[in-house]
Structure 1
């Protein structure tokens, strides 16, 4: 997921895990797992 990689790069650059990034990670994880089930 290029969008997810971009977010992770920004997170590493800032060296902090903001609640927004954590929330987005959860969303991507749930979406990826649901797509795998399909």
Structure 2
């Protein structure tokens, strides 16, 4: 079981990095959108 998870992570390392960057970008957009009404 653990070996399968390690193999899966090794195969999809680039995809996981792209997904993490996407999550960070969405969080920045969300926080910016929530703070935008306070600036106007």
**Structure 1: gaps of 5 or more residues:** 1-14
Q: CA RMSD in A?
A: 2.3
Greater helix share, 1 or 2?
A: 2
> What TM-score results when the alignment is normalised by the length of structure 1?
0.54
Higher alpha-carbon Rg:
2
Name the TM-score, length of structure 2 as normaliser: 0.52
Runs of 4+ in 1 over 2 A off after TM superposition: none
